[in-house]
Chain A
């Protein structure tokens, strides 16, 4: 060890660098020297024409992962994320800061969700990733592959088979159970930023449960539109205490958060905040008594592939200008195509109340707008 150190020091001096190299950069150089054979460092020239394929060919699969810790993040980072998650669960809806490491993709592309997922995954877990309801988007596929390469987990597209589901902008249509964790990617953590750009002022508002300004926003919304017209990021009150941004899920998904069996973790990489909705916690969308919360309505249309009328549909416009509707949750749509009678709580023994619109909930008959 000391021998290598001496070598590295010699190299630094040879390289005509300043003598005041910090200990950190020496350590780094030390590590670097150990990772790579010395002759390759001093002789970086390559004779053959370099193509990406030829470069990649030099590594076999085992080599490419050597040097990486299990589940990509180092153990201290994972522990820190887990601690923040525990704190977030203890204070439902409260935004807990965490370090948010640099990840191998840009912040804003799900780095928070990846850090939360990788901190939670173990080798026995099955992992599912969805991006706006789709398992097959590039981002979802890459995140899934990162987890399966580094954390050695099984992956699935079947919601009911997954232990941990990382998602962007949707909560799956199939009811989640008390053995599942949903990790949501969050672009904007504070619902109050809509009404005041100052995070310092907003933190004070959260501390004192002072949400008057958000209520004025809702009031002005009704003045302008006749109903509360917030498409996504609908402000919700968690456990009667903290106002929470449920990430850009459609209003359709907001009721699924209320008194659910599963744990919801919201992680933002760019803003370095984690918050959570524990199981069986009340999550109430802000609304007036006489201008109630409304989910999206799809009057008279059904999914073109599976015929569903009780799922969140997206409008698709074709090249010739015609429009059709399609289930947003691709995995469940696929199941429905096999079996059109499949309920969203088909995998659960007792029937479930209140997993969003359309699931048998006697109290919410009027808000299940899918049959209008």
Chain B
């Protein structure tokens, strides 16, 4: 058995004051994530999952199912709204990831856990060059030799199949596919243990989607980096994920090996989801 990297136990996130009836009146059985008693939105609750080294975990679900909220919690994205409970443990850190201070969070995000944002603007500084966006990760981690930074950025551009002669152009001049690749190059820069991809194909046309996913799959295997892939698109999950969790109304309703979920879905919603795609 491979090494356990990340363990998420009983994590909950809610927007609103909450009441004693929240958990009972929301979720899959209740058919909503919105508590009718106190108006609280339960973005996700009762979340338990694990990620091993080098493994790819898929999280699939419809819009509003809480998958992005969960991904942001794991990726240590700070959100001043909402209340969070539960525990996320990570091998390289002694304590609950949900309770880290800013400095530690900054360090962990820089070198251990990388998020590829769903929205380009959240992840990239479009006025900086593509190379500058990737270099920022290295420079923040303390790289102080210019030639070394250049060399590393160049090799990351190569690996993510971005034309190296474009690396000094402003990022806003890049195509959507190139911007997505720059985000992935940036996420890989400091050799993290785990990458969280939030909707990696959002806004890309089908042929570009396929090339970005192929590239990511190759890099993920070469570097043996673990990943959590969040998507509403089952074909993305099928291509990348070893294991899959299906979310609906803020709960994980089914999880297991991706092949098993695809071939033998147990939950009624999962069956509908798969039938509607294939």
A interface residues, Cβ below 8 angstroms from B: 208, 210, 212-213, 215-216, 219-220, 222-224, 288-291
Chain A residues with CB under 8 Å of B128's CB are 216, 220
CB <8 Å contact, A212 and B136: yes
- CB–CB A215/B146 < 8 A: no
Residues facing A in B79-129 (CB within 8 A) are 102-103, 106, 125, 128-129
Residue of A nearest to B149 (CB): A219
A216 touches B132 (CB 8 A): yes
Footprint of A on B, CB under 8 Å? 102-103, 106, 125, 128-129, 131-133, 135-137, 139-140, 144-147, 149, 168
A223 to B125, CA, bound (A): 17
**Bound complex: CA of A212 vs CA of B139, how far in Å?**
6
10 nearest A-B residue pairs (beta carbon): A212-B140, A215-B139, A288-B146, A216-B136, A291-B146, A216-B132, A289-B145, A220-B132, A219-B135, A289-B144
Q: A208-B103, A208-B106, A210-B106 are in contact. Are A288 and B136 (CB under 8 A)?
A: no
Q: Given the interface contacts A208-B106, A210-B106, A216-B136, does A223 sit within 8 Å of B144 by beta carbon? A: no
Q: Who on chain B is nearest to A210 by CB?
A: B106
> For A222, what are the chain B residues with a Cβ–Cβ distance below 8 Å?
146
Q: Select the residue from B131, B139, B147 with max chain A CB neighbours within 10 A.
A: B139
Contacts of B168 in A (CB 8 A): 220, 223-224
> 15 new A-B pairs (CB below 8 Å) besides A222-B146, A223-B129, A288-B144?
A208-B102, A208-B106, A212-B136, A212-B137, A213-B136, A215-B139, A216-B125, A216-B128, A216-B136, A220-B129, A220-B132, A224-B168, A288-B149, A289-B144, A291-B146
A291 to B150, CA, bound (A): 12
How many inter-chain contacts with C-beta < 8 Å in the A-B complex? 49
CA distance A222 to B137 in the complex (A): 17
* Alpha-carbon distance A224/B132, docked complex (angstroms): 12
A219 to chain B, nearest CB (A): 5
C-alpha spacing A274/B15, complex, angstroms: 41
B136 to chain A: which residues have CB within 8 Å? 212-213, 215-216
* 27 A-B contact pairs sorted by A residue (CB < 8 Å): A208-B102, A208-B106, A210-B140, A212-B137, A212-B139, A213-B125, A213-B136, A215-B136, A215-B139, A216-B125, A216-B128, A216-B132, A216-B135, A216-B139, A219-B149, A220-B128, A220-B129, A222-B146, A223-B129, A223-B132, A223-B168, A288-B145, A288-B146, A288-B149, A289-B144, A289-B145, A290-B146
Residues in A whose Cβ lies below 8 Å from that of B137: 212
Q: Which residue of B lies closest to A228 (CB)?
A: B146
A210 CA to B104 CA, complexed, in Å: 12
Q: How far is the CA of A220 from the CA of B168 in the complex (A)?
A: 8
Point out the residues of chain B lying under 8 angstroms from A288, CB to CB.
Answer: 144-146, 149
Cβ-defined partner of A223 (8 Å) among B102, B106, B131: B131
A35 to chain B, nearest CB (A): 53
Residue of A nearest to B133 (CB): A216
In angstroms, how far is the closest chain B Cβ from the Cβ of A210?
A: 6
Residue ID in chain A nearest B140 by CB atoms: A212
What is the CA–CA distance of A210 and B102 in the complex, to the nearest angstrom?
11
CB distance from B186 to the nearest CB of A (A): 11
Does A215 lie within 8 Å of B140, measured CB to CB?
yes
Interface centre among A219, A224, A291 (most CB of B within 10 A): A219
What separation, in Å, do the CA atoms of A220 and B129 have in the docked complex?
A: 8
List the B residue with the shortest CB-CB distance to A204: B102
**Shortest distance between the CB of B150 and any CB in chain A (Å):** 8
Q: In the docked arrangement, what's the CA distance between A31 and B132, Å? A: 61
